[in-house]
Amino acid sequence: MFYKKIRKVTTALYIFSFLLIFKAYSQENELPKEVFIANNIPDSLKENANSVIRYSNVSFNIKGPGIARVKWHNIVTILNEKGDREAVLEMGYNRKFDTYSSIVMRAYDANGVVLKKYHKNDMYDGSAAGGSTLVTDERFLYVKHTVANYPTTIETEYEEDINSFIDFPPLEFQNLEQSVQKASIEVTIDPALGFRYKLSNIKIEPSKGKTQDGFDDFVWTIKNKKAIKKEDYVLPWKVIPKIEFAVNKFNCYGYPGDFSTWQSFGQWLQGLYADVSSLSPEREAEIKKMTDSIKSDKEKAKFLYSYLQKSTRYVSIQLGIGGYKPFSATFVDQKKYGDCKALANYMFALLKAVNIKAYPAIIRGEINSEPEDINFPYSSFNHEILCIPFKNDTTWLDCTMNYAEFGKIGPFTENRMSLIVTEDGGKFVNTPKSKMTDNKFIADANIILNAEGGSKAVLKIATTGWYREEFYEVSSFKVDEQKEYFLTRNNIKQPSEFILNPSNDNAGVRDLSINLEYDKFCDILAGDKQFIKPKLIDLCPSSVPINENRKTDYFFEHPFQKTCNTTIALPTGFEVETLPANQSLKFTYGSYDIKYVYDNVKNIVTSTAQFNIANHVIPAAKYTELQQFLDGVMKAQNKKLVIRKKA
């Protein structure tokens, strides 16, 4: 469904997506008891593992467009508390189109003795509404077994009848720090539907056959697969073995469609949008009058985007086909709210009223998300923005953010393939990639030291791009949460007094100021000397662990340029004994420079630090260079200024 993804993913939602991995069908023959006994796990499968999949099988019987029966069976042994999420069973459903049966979850001790059984009537049945989703048809069933001892084995079984789908969620053979004794996935499908599949991070061929009724049958099986050792800051999609499969002919909420190509899927979406993307003639006339005095199309679009931001708000309502079909432009115009596709559609209608062409653009909204595969039509989209193809450039608008700059979309949707919905169907177009100069963090710190080792300070911060967006989001936090954020995010020493002043926004720059007081600012007070960390914030909050055999790329959230100018006024009667040395550090994709100056006439120390990352994706082969660079930055940031009383 095309709704804006909430960045703070709850544990329950994470578990839900995780449990989709290993569902399978219950076979007629009873499994051997050895499958439930923990001592039977080979030592090689315990290495780097928090849990072990003992047996897993999933069976999809796809009978027609939008019609399928799924049978699940999964047995997993939890080795330690890090594997406890395997003791949660959560299943999403829609009352109109999903029916569950034969639900059972069993917990076993280390010897395979049943500790407890759970059935459907033991599960919590709740609405999936929450966060920014106000109303939805989607629901979930949930039950959790409390693990008291390790190892514990959890078995889950159920069947699901589905009567609406476009495609299916990816099925992961294993997760990080999880090994597999045996797992299989089976798909039985009417060949007329056009079955396609794609494997990632694994090479395995399915066994193929035919059923008695002429359906194609595919089975993928893996055995004795060792755990994937988790690397720090790894993106799961880069390493977890999974399979995605899709059908060319589908039926979603009673709307049949063709997904054999991106173009045909775009045509299906175009059909959903056709009757909701215009305003009334009277309202269009009003919009034209609002923009009559504006000469260029781009300035008109900028004006209308500002109008949308000021007059509407983001609210997610997902009812029926509403997960794909937007509210009408007239509805949003009157009610002043909508989800991402409704607001994008409204902006489309506003532009249409003044004869500016635009296209809805569906996209996978998430920082550093997995890129779409042009050669494998498959719907993993969760967000919608708008594309305006002006004569000399293409402008992108995220209509859900009432604080976004015109033409700036940020890391949530930048630098990836977007499927624009044109009159001729779906077409892929790249969204722009930000440069480090688009994401600036500029700090100015003024520190006044006293003879007792304390200080007063004023910190001013100006932000653009991602930092600006982040500051907007933080401004909605409670005061104590904002304080914790700024102190933690910037490695600011805990003050005795912290006053956050109201922030301002002007010409795409958001700034704020913080007043701080410290009873003890210096790190060490020894006789007539003070040893001081000569800065209020760290531009680089941490380094990364040593890993000489890194296998995966390292991702920052975005490229950036961070600067801090610091002025330190020494107490009367004090002078500098030791001034930290200037340093200049560089690696392939970034740099750090720090310079110090002591004005003995004014008795002031000034410093300028700049930390740049030009490319947010660091290849695995460059990880050690990055680690050594960041270690050097951390050491440079921790150099001490030593002041003393004058003789």
Q: What's the CATH code of the domain at 110?
A: 2.60.40.3140
Domain assignment present for residue 2? The answer is: no
| pLDDT > 70? residue 122 | yes
Are residues 237 and 368 both part of a single domain?
Answer: no
Q: So what's the pLDDT on residue 191?
A: 96
Q: So what's the pLDDT on residue 503?
A: 85
Summarised one tens digit per residue, pLDDT across range 328-337 is 999 999 999 9
473-476 long-range contacts (CB < 8 A, ≥24 apart) are 475/503
Higher-confidence residue of 247 and 10: namely 247
Are residues 584 and 443 both part of a single domain?
Answer: yes
Domain boundary among 430, 453, 473: 430
Domain assignment present for residue 383? The answer is: yes
Least confident window among 7-21, 133-147, 341-355, 580-594: 7-21
The H or E element containing residue 550 is none
Domain assignment present for residue 3? The answer is: no
Indicate the DSSP class of residue 193: G
The H or E element containing residue 183 is strand 178-189
Question: DSSP letter string over 498-538?
Answer: EEEPPPEEETTEEEEEEEEEES--SSEEETTEEEE---SS-
Are residues 465 and 599 both part of a single domain?
Answer: yes
Are residues 166 and 312 both part of a single domain?
Answer: no
pTM above 0.85, yes or no: yes
- Interval 432-446 mean pLDDT: 96
Mean pLDDT over each residue of the chain, to the nearest integer: 91
Domain assignment present for residue 331? The answer is: yes
Q: Which residues contact 194 (CB under 8 A, 6 or more apart)?
A: 247, 248, 249, 260
Domain assignment present for residue 38? The answer is: yes
Summarised one tens digit per residue, pLDDT across range 600-622 is 999 999 999 999 999 999 999 99
Summarised one tens digit per residue, pLDDT across range 538-556 is 999 999 999 999 999 999 9
Domain boundary among 430, 464, 496: 430
Are residues 246 and 267 both part of a single domain?
Answer: no
Domain assignment present for residue 6? The answer is: no
Cα four-point dihedral sign 208, 211, 215, 221: negative
| Residues of the domain holding 110 | 11-256
Summarised one tens digit per residue, pLDDT across range 44-80 is 999 999 999 999 999 999 999 999 999 999 999 999 9
Hey, what's the torsion of the CAs at 189, 194, 198, 199, to 10 degrees? 20
Are residues 112 and 230 both part of a single domain?
Answer: yes
Are residues 41 and 144 both part of a single domain?
Answer: yes
- Interval 516-531 mean pLDDT: 95
d(CA 217, CA 206): 9
| pLDDT > 90? residue 6 | no
Q: So what's the pLDDT on residue 128?
A: 76
Give the pair of three-digit tokens for residue 360. Answer: 């809805």
Q: So what's the pLDDT on residue 18?
A: 32
Are residues 287 and 304 both part of a single domain?
Answer: yes
Say if strands 359-363 and 417-422 run parallel, antiparallel, or are unpaired.
Answer: antiparallel
Q: So what's the pLDDT on residue 133?
A: 65
Domain assignment present for residue 26? The answer is: yes
Beta bridge partners of 607: 566, 596
With cut-offs at 50, 70 and 90, classify the pLDDT of residue 319.
low
| pLDDT > 90? residue 536 | yes
Domain assignment present for residue 337? The answer is: yes
| pLDDT > 80? residue 2 | no
Are residues 247 and 300 both part of a single domain?
Answer: no
Phi/psi-derived region of residue 425, left when phi > 0, alpha when psi is between -120 and 50, beta in every other case: left
Single-letter code of the amino acid located at 510:
R
| pLDDT > 60? residue 265 | yes
Closest CA to 2 of 265, 352, 310: 265
d(CA 430, CA 368): 14
Domain total for the chain? 3
| pLDDT > 80? residue 638 | yes
Query: What radius of gyration, in Å, describes the C-alpha atoms of the chain?
Result: 29
Q: What's the CATH code of the domain at 462?
A: 2.60.120.1130
- Assess contact for 36 and 114: CB atoms under 8 A: no
Summarised one tens digit per residue, pLDDT across range 131-186 is 666 677 788 899 999 999 999 999 999 999 999 999 888 999 999 999 999 999 99
- Using DSSP's 3-state secondary structure scheme, residue 377 falls into coil
- Interval 487-511 mean pLDDT: 92
Q: So what's the pLDDT on residue 40?
A: 94
Summarised one tens digit per residue, pLDDT across range 178-230 is 999 999 999 999 999 999 999 999 999 999 999 999 999 999 999 999 999 98
Q: So what's the pLDDT on residue 94?
A: 84
Q: So what's the pLDDT on residue 134?
A: 67
Closest CA to 24 of 204, 242, 193, 182: 182
- Interval 343-350 mean pLDDT: 97
Q: So what's the pLDDT on residue 28?
A: 38
| pLDDT > 90? residue 22 | no
Question: DSSP letter string over 328-356?
Answer: PHHHHHHH-EE-HHHHHHHHHHHHHHTT-
Q: What's the CATH code of the domain at 334?
A: 3.10.620.30
Are residues 252 and 266 both part of a single domain?
Answer: no
Are residues 497 and 419 both part of a single domain?
Answer: no
- Interval 494-507 mean pLDDT: 91
Domain boundary among 430, 446, 474: 430
Are residues 525 and 553 both part of a single domain?
Answer: yes
HSE-CB at 182 with a 13 A cutoff on CA atoms is 8
